[in-house]
Structure 1
Amino acid sequence: MSAAKRSLKKQVLLLFVFVLFLTIASPAIAHKVKTEGVVGATLHVEPNDNPRAGEPAKTWFALTRKGGKVIPLAECNCQLAVYAEPHSASEPPLIEPPLQAVSVERFQGIPGTEITFPRPGAYQLQLSGKPKDGKSFQPFELKFPVTVAVGSATNNNVQESQTVQNVNQSVTEERTQGVPFWAIALSVLLAVGVFFGVLRMVKKREGG
């Protein structure tokens, strides 16, 4: 194999490894960032921004002004609304979890909460807020899309439903199988006897 071919093979291999690394690493670093005016926020939902239905998920917003200065919850009248997607503008929130000040990594006192998404699927988290002093920053409304995976609670519900279905099916089969063969045969014989008895009476009347 020539040196040029070996070099090309090595470059292709390195490119493949790099793409594979990005594919694996992207879920862990793909925090959602939204901005409005001079206010921005980075959303993080545990675990690894992949919440699961029926399982409490710690959620926090790295809320900052332009330039990176943190906006703590103590300086913001913030509210959080959770909508199941799709939803209309007039539709009320599915959940309105209360916010509390949390300290995560280098962020101190930022808005955080715990959310239990009821079902897997698409959701929208809407964080809105106003400055408590009325002038530090402009009111904002930031919307974050979130996809919720199937969780253990959902799996348990499915398993319970399947168990109930299997039990009902077994009971039905047992009831069907519980009828003795002799009873079925006797019923058939009685029906045949009644049929021929009626047929004989009809023939006698016609002959008479």
Structure 2
Amino acid sequence: MLHLSNKSKTLGLLVFVGLLVQAGIFPVPQLNSTSVLAHEVEVSGDVAATFHLEPNHNPRAGETAKVWFALTRRGGQIIPLEQCNCKLAVYPKNHKQGDKPLMEPPLKAVSAERYQGIPGADIVFPKAGIYELELSGSAKVAANFKPFKLSYTVTVR
């Protein structure tokens, strides 16, 4: 069995995303002088997700933070919420497998940037600290992608 370091895995993911961008499968929006690209990308099986948290990936405890996930399948096709049995769970950073999430915010279809109908939610983090957001999903009957699980670390002030 081949064991890779976290550094090797990260480099591999960056190369993979770079190839997707270069091939036009994962387009990057054009930036103007006032926009900032503050998104995180994760890949699970044949699904990639661009994650964004407002305001500016810098949430505050007790205030509403808006999150969205632009899901795409291999080939660059957007996966709207209506095609996904998606679930969002919020955990404290160092939780154990099987722990109950702190919250499971309901997902709703949102429009963000150039994406329409993608999964999004409003989250109020209870206190400052580090949290893990876990988005999991499977295809509804008419859709065609493998089940996925994606995880994002969020620092709340």
Identify the residue that residue 110 of structure 2 maps to in structure 1: 102
**TM-score where L is the length of structure 2:** 0.75
CA drift of 1:29 comes to 2.5
Indicate whether 1:81 and 2:71 are aligned: no
Indicate whether 1:47 and 2:82 are aligned: no
Identify the residue that residue 58 of structure 1 maps to in structure 2: 66
CA drift of 1:78 comes to 0.3
Question: Which is bigger in relative contact order (C-alpha 8 A, separation at least 6)?
Answer: 2
Number of equivalences: 123
Aligned-pair identity (%): 58
Deviation beyond 6 Å, 4+ runs, structure 1: none
Aligned to 2:147, which of 139, 144, 158? Answer: 139
Q: Tell me which protein shows more helix as a share of its residues.
A: 1
Matches within 5 A, 1:1-208: 28-133=36-141, 136-149=144-157
Q: Tell me which protein shows more strand as a share of its residues.
A: 2
Q: Provide the aligned C-alpha RMSD in A.
A: 1.5
Name the SS of the counterpart of 1:29 in structure 2: coil
CA drift of 1:134 comes to 6.8
CA drift of 1:85 comes to 1.4
Amino acid at match of 2:139: P
1:60 and 1:117 map into 2 onto residues whose CA distance is: 16
CA radius of gyration, larger in = 1
1:116 and 1:96 map into 2 onto residues whose CA distance is: 11
Unaligned runs of 5+ in 1: 1-27, 150-208
Name the SS of the counterpart of 1:30 in structure 2: coil
Is the contact made by 2:66 and 2:121 (CA closer than 8 Å) also made in structure 1?
A: yes
